[in-house]
Amino acid sequence: MKKWQCIVCGFEYDEAQGMPDEGIEAGTKWEDIPDDWTCPDCGAPKDDFEMMEVE
């Protein structure tokens, strides 16, 4: 399970948690999120996310 971060506003998507409010189930892998999904905070496209370092 990985985390992805919006490079514009810092919003984090955690694959383990998903976003049930948005209809994205827990455990949904980043590549399985639709391409037209956008950052829920700032609206930036999926392309503007990058994988976060594992600490």
Partner 1 sequence: MSTPEMTLEEARAYDKKRWLWPMGFGIIILVGAALLTGWWFNITWLLFAGPIIVYGVVPALDYLIGKDSTNPPERVLDVLEDDPYYRYSTYLFVPVQFVFLIVATGIVGTNDLTFLQWLGMTSSLGMLSGVAINTAHELGHKNTRLESWLAKIVLAPVAYGHFYVEHNYGHHSNVATPEDPASARMGENFWRFLWRTMGGSAKSAVHVEKTRLKRKGRGFWHWRNELLQSWAMTVALFTGLVLAFGVEVLPFLIVQAFIGASLLEAVNYCEHYGLLRKKRGNGRYERCRPEHSWNNDHIVTNIFLFHLQRHSDHHAHPTRRYQSLRHFDEAPELPTGYAGMIVLAYIPPLWRKVMDKRVVAHYDGDIRQANLQPSKRKKLLTQYPPPSGAATA
User: Interface with partner 1 includes 25 (CB under 8 A)?
Assistant: no
User: Interface with partner 1 includes 7 (CB under 8 A)?
Assistant: yes
Q: Of 53, 47, 11, 43, whose CA–CA distance to 31 is shortest?
A: 47
* Separation of alpha carbons 49 and 51, rounded Å: 7
Which of 4, 14, 17, 48 lies at the binding interface for partner 1 (CB under 8 A)? 48
User: Interface with partner 1 includes 41 (CB under 8 A)?
Assistant: yes
Identify whether the C-beta of residue 23 lies closer than 8 Å to the C-beta of residue 40: no
Q: Which residues bind partner 1 (CB under 8 A)?
A: 7-11, 21, 38-45, 48
